[in-house]
Amino acid sequence: MVIGITGSTGFIGQAVLRALPWPDSACLRCLVRDRSPRSGLPPAEWMQGDLMNEADCEEFVDGLDVVLHLAQSNSPATSDRHWPSDFTANIAPSLNLLEALRRRQGRGQCHLIFASSGGAVYGRLGAGRGAFREEDQCNPLSPYGIQKLMIEHYLQTACDQGWLRATVLRIGNAYGSLLAMERRQGFIGVAMARLISGKPVRIFGPVGTVRDYVHVDDVARAFTAVLAADHRRGKEANWRIFNIGSGVGHSVSDVIDLMGQVMDCNVATESCDFGAAPISSVPAVILDSSKAAGEIGWEPRVKLREGIAEMYDAGKIESLTEAPTKPPLR
């Protein structure tokens, strides 16, 4: 089996690379913009190219059995800055990839596994409804969510036409490693990085906002679970969608409290302005992942407190070479 992956050097992409013993199970081809050495990642064919380039896409998909499509250049917080350029940067690459796959018809049907967003495609859920299910109507409230859903529609059309198999993973709010302190996506990773560096946690929006946080290692296992299910049972339905979340909602306040418990401190916070009311704001997103449990045998393993504790321990080790700084007290 030959597996191609886009977005392999990103947060989720690196976790996916580490999730399987690739040399023992498949040949792996990663499309990257530069071929700098990748330390700590499994052996792979690192192909330099760009999804905006049609020729690069055709070379990339040649001979592939599976594509793991994780590349994305924006986030819910940044997708509303300039609609035309954001649309071009995030829709065109996926369409170039799909067009390259369509042109190779007759050389075997490829299986594309797409990293969509459970936090962005559904929009608002009626009061008292609980968790989102895959069959719920999607009503995205941000350009980011609109783009993810649009790519899903293109994938479904390709499957209906018979030249592609596709599995969509609607992923909750992934966390699991420290992130750049100035980012506006990945609240837990950014907040932990700031705390370990002695800076207050920045809060964008209401502290009562609820999200479904899922550890990145669990997300990576979802990709491998899809592949394993195909291996066990052969090719199944051409088109599938799975929610990938913990099934438990935590507010921003809940997360801050957990951080304080893990770090044994009172966590200092500061409110920050988006500059404009974020149209992506949704009060609560919780995902029902029972379909994934039943059909591909996937269930989350890492509890939120456990994941935060692991991040704190890893962050302390990384900061040993720096001057020790205690978390700020409130």
pLDDT tens, N- to C-terminus, the chain (330 residues): 899 999 999 999 999 999 975 556 678 999 998 877 677 777 889 999 999 999 999 999 999 999 999 998 766 666 677 788 888 889 999 999 999 999 987 777 899 999 999 999 998 765 456 899 999 999 998 899 999 999 999 999 999 999 999 999 999 999 998 876 666 678 999 999 999 889 999 998 889 999 999 999 999 999 999 999 987 766 667 899 999 999 999 999 999 999 999 999 999 999 887 554 454 568 899 999 999 999 999 999 999 999 999 999 988 766 544 544 444 433
As to burial, measured by CB atoms within 10 angstroms (0-12 exposed, 13-18 middle, 19+ buried), residue 324 is exposed
Q: What's the rounded Cα separation, in Å, for the pair 228 and 297?
A: 9
CA angle centred on 245, ends 91 and 183, rounded to 5°: 55
What Cα–Cα distance (Å) separates residue 98 from each residue in 167, 197, 213, 277, 309? Answer: 14, 43, 30, 35, 40
pLDDT at 42: 77
Whether 242 and 289 have beta carbons less than 8 Å apart is answered as: yes
**How many Å apart are CA 174 and CA 311, to the nearest integer?**
13
For residue 127, how many other CB atoms are within 10 A of its CB?
7
pLDDT at res. 325: 44
State residue 319's pLDDT score: 57
DSSP assigned state of 79: T
* Domains of the chain by start residue, with CATH: 2-173+214-244 (3.40.50.720)
Which amino acid type is present at position 287? L
Q: What is the pLDDT of residue 218?
A: 98
Range 177-186 contact pairs with CB under 8 angstroms and sequence separation of 24 or more: 177/11, 177/216, 177/311, 177/314, 178/311, 178/314, 178/315, 178/318, 179/11, 183/75, 184/75, 184/77, 184/78, 185/75, 185/76, 185/77, 185/78, 186/11
Residues in the chain: 330
How far is 78 from 60, CA to CA, in rounded Å? 28
40, burial (CB in 10 Å: exposed 0-12, middle 13-18, buried 19+): exposed
